[in-house]
Amino acid sequence: MKKTVMLLFALSICFAGGNLPPQMDKIVKALQNKYQIYSLEDISKLNNQPNVTNARTSSRDMGDLIGGWHLEDNSIEMFVTVGTDQTIINALSMMGMAEANGSISATASDYSTELTYLLDASFMDGGGNSDCEDIYCEGEYNDYYDYGYYPSDMYCECCSDEYYIDDYCYYGRNNSRNTDALGFAQDYVNDNSIDWGESAFDLESEFSLVVDGDDVSGGLGGTNPENCEINWPDDPFKIAVYSFVSEYVLGEGGSIGCFLDSDSLDQSYADFVGEMEDEWTNGGDDDDGESEPELLIMNMNLMEFFMIVFGADFDSINVENPTVLAVGSSNGENLDMVFGLMFNQNGVLELMADSAAAALSTSIDTMNFSLTFNNLSLVDSLGMSQLTVNGTIGPGMLEFIAGEETSIDLSLLFGDENEEEDLSIYLYEDSTGMDVSISYDDYYGEEWTDTSYFQWEATSDSVFLYYESDYYDEESDTMAMEYEIEDGTLYVSASENPCEEEYDSYEDCFSEDDIYPGLDQLEDVEDFKVSFESVFESVDIASVDPLDGLLPLEHKLYTAYPNPFNPVTTIRFDVGDASHESILRIYDISGRNVATLVKSQLQAGTYEVQWDASQYASGVYFTELISGINRYTQKMILLK
């Protein structure tokens, strides 16, 4: 609860490029670093949360607060007051989240559509420092060694100076993602070999690799590959490629260095593998990025674009004839690179405009920040004209009137830095309470639970949560929120100025803290605040009946209740697939299996099992649910 309801503004969304063409690689990689989207399910995190009004008839009886509450929705809004009239660019309109000013008409042989959304690559820049500031390095370091929790994706980049985990950041992390590295290497060889006078080849067969799901093993081996004693291929080009495979696919040490530092290996392709490594580790050299797209123009918003790329059913997107234009410059001056994507149920049709025609038919109005196309034709791979574009488009603007409070909806930018997907709070009659946040790691297929404890009290209109100081916090933390209850729904809200405590001026705050992109353009700011409202639904923590009588579709392990407990706790889990044996075990902190509660072929449904730990010592324990290759883990604390 403490981390979830704090005002968290980091813009981090992640994106998987799917089957987009090679020309989109750079902007897609930028989106991968900017956003946190891995699947269709993740897209819901970015959707606008419904705004809820305070004008409601409801109860403010403190007794009604007692019980369990599950977080359903969040809404967040920013309010700015300035001393002089002014206008700034609406950052959301440059991030594909709000419609731009104007539109581009895209006309094909069988349809015509208006492109009204912009996605500016410059809004993907930066964020690295902010991401690192959001990471608690020591905490993730301790969690890895104490509990086996995998660090976040940014950990190795941000924390290695002081809290380096060699076996994870070098070997474990690379090995756990070696299929990604292999796929990258194969694509790189396919796309770039001809530029070096070489032919592409199949890495898997050439280097005797064995691919098993997400794992790659085998390779050419050697006496001690980690110490550069490697069985190199005979061909100089394949030596260079294998140095990348050995290091980043097989995790056999710094193999590229082994190749480059060798006095006996042919160095003809040293630059090839150097560029290959740079592309893999850094996304390429930003200085040579002028030939990559700088702007996307679409007839869909960012959420719908994500859905299309991830293969959602077109009927669920409600976008007719999805069309995207990508615009860039090959020389840093003229916009002479324009290509298009026309999506349909069978895939995507790639289009390209002639560079000379694009330079003549495309213009920028720097005064109004607008882009104009004048009857520009895009052709397919056979040279046939498939799309003609016309019109003018530019960013949306935000107007601020002197002395008037201007509101900006931040729901699309509101995200939890810890990616908490499930939160429940429990308020007890003795003025104690606890919150249970459950986060799910899509990559590792694991679920983690974090429990915090607090004292609470309430008046007729406000509730106060008092978190005691702990290992991570030097001081106690108090949260004060207004509340209302209506028909089993709890609404809590609060406002604060995130600039007033840490910054001497709004100018410093807006320039250093990425609260909202573009806000640093404002001058003469008189007042600023951010307000949020969270909606909780009352929960029956003892119920095991599936919602609406439907059986669960997948396995899921819920947090134990109560937790901490003494000495009995109830463990609830879902079985969605009855084809595998379900195993529910208890482990202590050393990894020793202390109890097996379930080992049976269960039918699809929801189950509860009680564990009596009266014979066990106080401490941290873990529940583990196993079904086939899937494992789900939760933490429990036994307090006697």
Question: Would the pLDDT of 211 be above 60?
Answer: yes
pLDDT for residue 513? 60
Quickly state the pLDDT bin for 164 (edges 50, 70, 90).
low
- Both tokens of 285, joined, read 């050299």
pLDDT for residue 319? 87
pLDDT for residue 7? 22
Helix (H) or strand (E) holding 306: helix 302-309
Q: Which residue has the higher pLDDT, 362 or 44?
A: 362
pLDDT for residue 379? 93
Q: Can you tell me the mean pLDDT for 61-74? A: 78
Question: Would the pLDDT of 231 be above 80?
Answer: yes
pLDDT for residue 593? 81
- Give 516-583 as a 3 state SS string: CCCHHHCCCEEEEEEEEEEEEEEECCCCCCCHHHCCCCCCEECCCECCCECCEEEEEEEECCCCCCEE
pLDDT for residue 118? 92
Q: Can you tell me the mean pLDDT for 335-361? A: 87
pLDDT for residue 271? 92
DSSP state of 121: G
Q: Can you tell me the mean pLDDT for 413-436? A: 67
pLDDT for residue 98? 87
- Region of 321 on the Ramachandran plot (φ > 0 left; ψ -120 to 50 alpha; else beta): left
Paired residues of 215 in beta bridges = 212
- Both tokens of 233, joined, read 């291929």
Quote the percentage of the chain above a pLDDT of 90: 21
Q: Is cis: bond before 552, omega within 30 of 0?
A: no
The span from the CA of 596 to the CA of 584, in Å, is 6
Q: How far is CA 40 from CA 36, 55, 71, 211, 416, in A?
A: 11, 35, 21, 26, 18
Tell which residue, 199, 239, 243, 245, has the closest CA to residue 218: 245
Question: Would the pLDDT of 416 be above 70?
Answer: no
Q: Can you tell me the mean pLDDT for 361-368? A: 85
Helix (H) or strand (E) holding 344: strand 337-344
Q: Which residue has the higher pLDDT, 484 or 117?
A: 117
Q: Can you tell me the mean pLDDT for 399-404? A: 94
Q: Which residue has the higher pLDDT, 273 or 414?
A: 273
The model's pLDDT over 199-208, given as tens digits with 9 standing for 90+, comes to 999 999 999 9
C-alpha angle 200/203/206, rounded to 5°? 100
Quickly state the pLDDT bin for 38 (edges 50, 70, 90).
very low
The model's pLDDT over 299-312, given as tens digits with 9 standing for 90+, comes to 998 878 877 776 67
Question: Would the pLDDT of 340 be above 80?
Answer: yes
The span from the CA of 77 to the CA of 284, in Å, is 37
The model's pLDDT over 561-619, given as tens digits with 9 standing for 90+, comes to 888 888 888 888 888 776 778 888 888 877 788 888 887 777 777 788 888 888 888 88
The span from the CA of 609 to the CA of 84, in Å, is 64
The span from the CA of 497 to the CA of 513, in Å, is 13
- Of 167-176, 252-261, 407-416, the range with the highest mean pLDDT is 252-261
pLDDT for residue 284? 45
Q: How far is CA 341 from CA 21, 326, 607, 623, in A?
A: 9, 8, 48, 47
Q: What is the C-alpha end-to-end distance of the chain, expressed in Å?
A: 25
Quickly state the pLDDT bin for 289 (edges 50, 70, 90).
very low
Paired residues of 448 in beta bridges = 439
Which regions of 412-524 does DSSP assign to beta strands (E)? Answer: 420-427, 432-441, 446-458, 462-467, 477-486, 489-496
Question: Would the pLDDT of 440 be above 90?
Answer: no
Quickly state the pLDDT bin for 123 (edges 50, 70, 90).
low
What's the whole-number average pLDDT of the chain? Answer: 76
Number of residues in the chain: 640
The model's pLDDT over 258-268, given as tens digits with 9 standing for 90+, comes to 898 888 999 99
* Cβ–Cβ < 8 Å for 272, 192: yes
Q: Can you tell me the mean pLDDT for 420-425? A: 68
Q: How far is CA 419 from CA 35, 37, 117, in A?
A: 12, 11, 27
- The pTM (predicted TM-score) of the whole model is 0.52
- Both tokens of 183, joined, read 């796929």
- From the number of C-beta atoms within 10 Å of its C-beta (0-12, 13-18, 19+), residue 404 rates as exposed
Q: Can you tell me the mean pLDDT for 532-556? A: 63
Q: Quote the radius of gyration of the chain (alpha carbons, Å).
A: 28
Q: What domains are defined for the chain?
A: 2-80+410-486 (no CATH), 91-116+299-395 (no CATH), 129-285 (no CATH), 547-638 (2.60.40.1930)
* Cβ–Cβ < 8 Å for 23, 339: yes
Quickly state the pLDDT bin for 81 (edges 50, 70, 90).
very high
Upper half-sphere CA count for residue 472 (Cβ side, 13 Å): 14
The span from the CA of 599 to the CA of 579, in Å, is 14
